[in-house]
């Protein structure tokens, strides 16, 4: 397995407070890595560390198989990024910004600028300074800038911020195409699960600076996530009956009146019948599938009630 | 390095600063003319002798372009941090030290060039005007002109070097205000020595040279440890 980027126990502390703690992240070649976490969870700091803007307090970063040091410069040629907010020399036009970027990156092929501007829908901005662009336009220009030098690793921090629904769809398609056709490895962060879920191959969840989960979407989708939710009139009695008389131990109390039963192979009707036999009245009972959303929301919030 | 300098010039559309400098030159000329006209005949006339006149010119020109340099530092260095474009600039595969050095070279060369050019230009105007409407008591020898050119060169060099001092204060909190205030204060401190009988010419030169050295030292330091610092 080839890793494009790895962090090994990376920690960043500001004045004694850790904003990123002991993160071990593994980004495989060619995949789309979705980086999920609330605002302030440490996503941006980690991405800054990957682009060498911020130095880790402890731990190591490996990019393209080589250790990243404060003096690594060559490796930056192989990366493109938009971190936190698309910043530009805002007195200059979109084309001038892209042109300067190519010069600094040492990328000779200026012909791609026009094509790239067309691709992100900024072809008609002419001499208009970037200062007058909307956030959505800046976001597109930022992506154009990150992409224009055909990087092997593309790092995008909250790329859908400021985009309208049509723009989001376009971006999603673009990212998928970059991954599928050009084999570009992508690290995309978001606090919106729906976005990550639709494009990512692997999801990393960060909370309070810790990477609490790193899992392939395939595996999550395959996980057994069904349960039965019931509201008995007497929760205690129901729990006692289930545990001691029916032999169902994999259940959980949710709120004050609701029970969730995770044991496989039990149908709601059977459970209902058995409980009634032991004189437990049931107000409602139904079968539920755990959505991915629940799964991640729980992780992000820090709840543990996931089977 | 030349490539980086040309990119910086493009990035800030530097040509327009030459226009601003021309405006500044006009303002200096106007000011010096007014001073010559209104003070004429006074006991402590500013243009009493050639050496005094040339020193007056140099003082004004230096003050103007040292503050101009402060504005350039604010825009090209402090501004890069303030507008956070530095987080793009520092992800380029180019040593950070070189990126900053390119900016400093532009500011230094521009300040030096403009001071020397304006000094010589104003000096020339002075001599020309005095030819037609004599108002300066003494006359000018070729020897004096040669010394003057040397003095102007040294003065421009030291002024360009010391105008990098505000970098130290401006970069603390990436503040444009701190940069501008320190560059104005610097001008006030340095140029207030002029025409005070207590301060000898030699000590003025010593002050200028040591401040110039300080400016270069600060510029030098600002280029180091950049790779170790976080860009937030």
Q: Shortest CB distance from A74 goes to which of B10, B88, B93?
A: B93
- The whole-number pLDDT of residue B101 equals 95
pLDDT, mean of residues B167-185? 93
For residue A122, give the 3-state DSSP assignment: coil
Structural domain harbouring B174: 2-222
Determine which of A44-53, A83-92, A206-215, B196-205 has the lowest per-residue pLDDT on average: B196-205
- In a domain, residue B199? The reply is yes
Q: Shortest CB distance from B11 goes to which of A81, A85, A89?
A: A89
For residue A69, give the 3-state DSSP assignment: coil
- In a domain, residue B228? The reply is no
- In a domain, residue B229? The reply is no
Determine which of A144-158, A196-210, A287-301 has the lowest per-residue pLDDT on average: A287-301
User: For residues A141 and A147, what is the distance between their CA atoms, to the nearest angstrom?
Assistant: 10
pLDDT of residue B200 exceeding 90: no
- B220 or B40: whose pLDDT is higher? B220
- The whole-number pLDDT of residue A304 equals 45
- The whole-number pLDDT of residue A278 equals 87
| CB environment A231-269: b (16+ within 10 A), e (fewer) | bbeebeebbebbeeebebeebeeeeeeebbbbbeebebe
Please, which pLDDT band fits residue B176 given cuts at 50, 70 and 90? very high
Please check whether residue A54 is in contact with residue B232, taking contact to mean a CB–CB distance below 8 angstroms. Answer: yes
Please tell me the distance in Å from B196's CA to the nearest CA on chain A.
45
Q: Which CATH number fits domain A226-289: 3.60.9.10, 3.30.70.100, 3.30.450.40, 1.25.40.20?
A: 3.30.70.100
Q: Please, where are the H alpha helices in chain B?
A: 2-11, 15-38, 50-73, 79-82, 86-89, 96-132, 142-162, 166-170, 176-191, 201-222
- The whole-number pLDDT of residue A307 equals 37
- The CA-based angle A4-A5-A10, given to 5 degrees, is 165
- The whole-number pLDDT of residue B203 equals 73
For residue A30, give the 3-state DSSP assignment: coil
Q: Shortest CB distance from B10 goes to which of A52, A71, A100?
A: A100
Select the residue from B93, B97, B228, B232 to test the A interface by mutation, using most A Cβ atoms within 10 A.
B93
pLDDT of residue A163 exceeding 90: no
Q: How many CB atoms lie within 10 A of CB B150?
A: 10
- The whole-number pLDDT of residue B195 equals 54
What's the whole-model pTM score?
0.82
pLDDT, mean of residues A232-253? 84
pLDDT of residue A225 exceeding 80: no
Domain count, chain B: 1
Please, which pLDDT band fits residue A226 given cuts at 50, 70 and 90? confident
Please, which pLDDT band fits residue B227 given cuts at 50, 70 and 90? confident
Select the residue from B4, B88, B229, B232 to test the A interface by mutation, using most A Cβ atoms within 10 A.
B88
- The whole-number pLDDT of residue B165 equals 95
pLDDT of residue A303 exceeding 80: no
pLDDT of residue A162 exceeding 90: no
> B93 and A77: CB-CB below 8 Å?
yes
- In a domain, residue B231? The reply is no
- The whole-number pLDDT of residue A40 equals 85
pLDDT of residue A1 exceeding 70: no
The mean predicted confidence, pLDDT, of chain A is 87
User: For residues B50 and B40, what is the distance between their CA atoms, to the nearest angstrom?
Assistant: 15
CATH number of A3-217: 3.40.50.300
By C-alpha distance, the chain B residue nearest A76 is B93
- Identify the CA nearest to A295 among candidates A210, A217, A185, A200: A217
pLDDT (tens digit per residue) in A84-105: 889 999 999 999 999 999 999 9
Please tell me the distance in Å from B93's CA to the nearest CA on chain A.
5
Residues in chain A within 8 Å Cβ distance of B8? none
pLDDT, mean of residues A62-71? 92
Domain regions of chain A by residue span: 3-217, 226-289
Percent of chain A's residues with pLDDT above 70: 95
- A26 or A228: whose pLDDT is higher? A26
By C-alpha distance, the chain A residue nearest B1 is A104
Q: Shortest CB distance from A89 goes to which of B85, B93, B95?
A: B85
- The whole-number pLDDT of residue A306 equals 40
Q: Is B231 on the interface with A (CB under 8 A)?
A: yes
Select the residue from A77, A78, A89, A93 to test the B interface by mutation, using most B Cβ atoms within 10 A.
A89
Q: Is B228 on the interface with A (CB under 8 A)?
A: yes
**In angstroms, what CA-CA distances link A127 with A87, A132, A240, A256, B124?**
18, 11, 74, 63, 42
Please, which pLDDT band fits residue A117 given cuts at 50, 70 and 90? very high
- The whole-number pLDDT of residue B49 equals 85
Structure tokens at B44: 């402590």
Residues in chain A within 8 Å Cβ distance of B227? 70-71
Backbone φ, ψ for residue B223 (5° rounding): -85, -15
Q: Is B232 on the interface with A (CB under 8 A)?
A: yes
Determine which of A16-20, A166-170, A263-267, B69-73 has the lowest per-residue pLDDT on average: A263-267
pLDDT (tens digit per residue) in B127-143: 999 888 888 888 888 88
Please, which pLDDT band fits residue A296 given cuts at 50, 70 and 90? confident
């Amino acid at each position: 397995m080839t890793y494009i980027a790895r962090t090994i126990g990376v920690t960043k502390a500001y004045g004694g407070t850790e904003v990123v703690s002991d993160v071990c992240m593994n980004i495989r070649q060619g995949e789309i890595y979705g980086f999920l976490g609330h605002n302030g969870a440490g996503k941006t700091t980690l991405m800054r560390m990957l682009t060498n803007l911020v130095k880790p307090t402890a731990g190591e970063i490996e990019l393209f198989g080589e250790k990243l040091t404060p003096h690594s410069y060559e490796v930056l040629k192989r990366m493109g990024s938009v971190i936190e907010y698309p910043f530009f020399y805002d007195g200059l036009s979109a084309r001038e910004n892209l042109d300067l970027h190519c010069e600094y990156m040492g990328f000779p092929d200026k012909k791609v600028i026009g094509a790239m501007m067309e691709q992100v829908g900024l072809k008609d901005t002419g001499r208009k300074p970037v200062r007058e662009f909307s956030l959505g336009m800046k976001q597109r220009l930022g992506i154009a800038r990150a992409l224009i030098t055909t990087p092997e690793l593309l790092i995008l921090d909250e790329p859908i911020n400021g985009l309208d629904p049509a723009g989001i769809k376009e971006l999603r398609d673009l990212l998928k195409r970059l991954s599928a056709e050009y084999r570009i490895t992508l690290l995309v962060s978001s606090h919106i699960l729906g976005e990550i879920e639709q494009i990512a191959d692997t999801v990393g969840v960060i909370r309070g600076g810790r990477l609490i989960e790193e899992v392939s979407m395939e595996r999550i989708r395959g996980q057994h996530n069904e349960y039965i939710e019931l509201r008995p009139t007497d929760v205690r009695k129901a729990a006692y009956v289930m545990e001691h008389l029916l032999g169902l131990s994999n259940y959980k109390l949710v709120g004050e009146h609701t029970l969730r039963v995770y044991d496989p192979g039990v149908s709601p009707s059977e459970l209902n019948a058995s409980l009634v036999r032991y004189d437990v009245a049931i107000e409602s009972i139904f079968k539920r599938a755990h959505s991915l959303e629940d799964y991640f929301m729980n992780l992000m919030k820090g709840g543990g009630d996931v089977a | 390095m030349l490539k980086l300098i040309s990119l910086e010039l493009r990035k800030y559309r530097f040509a327009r600063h030459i226009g601003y400098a021309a405006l500044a030159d006009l303002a200096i000329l106007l000011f010096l003319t007014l001073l010559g006209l209104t003070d004429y005949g006074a006991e402590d006339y500013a243009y009493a002798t050639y050496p005094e006149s040339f020193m007056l010119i140099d003082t004004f020109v230096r003050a103007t372009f040292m503050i101009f340099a402060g504005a350039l530092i604010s825009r090209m260095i402090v501004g890069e941090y303030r507008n956070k474009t530095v987080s793009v600039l520092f992800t380029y595969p180019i040593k950070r030290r070189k990126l900053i050095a390119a900016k400093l070279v532009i500011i230094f060369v521009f300040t030096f060039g403009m001071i020397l050019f304006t000094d010589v230009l104003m000096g020339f105007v002075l001599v020309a005007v005095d030819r037609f409407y004599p108002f300066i008591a003494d006359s000018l020898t070729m020897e004096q002109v040669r010394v003057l050119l040397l003095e102007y060169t040294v003065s421009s060099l030291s002024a360009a070097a010391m105008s990098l001092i505000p970098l130290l204060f401006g970069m603390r909190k990436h503040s444009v205000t701190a940069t501008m205030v320190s560059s104005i204060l610097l001008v006030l401190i340095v140029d207030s020595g002029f025409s005070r009988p207590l301060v000898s010419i030699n000590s003025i030169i010593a002050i200028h040279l040591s401040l110039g050295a300080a400016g270069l030292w600060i510029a030098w330091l600002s280029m180091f440890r950049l790779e170790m610092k976080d860009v937030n």
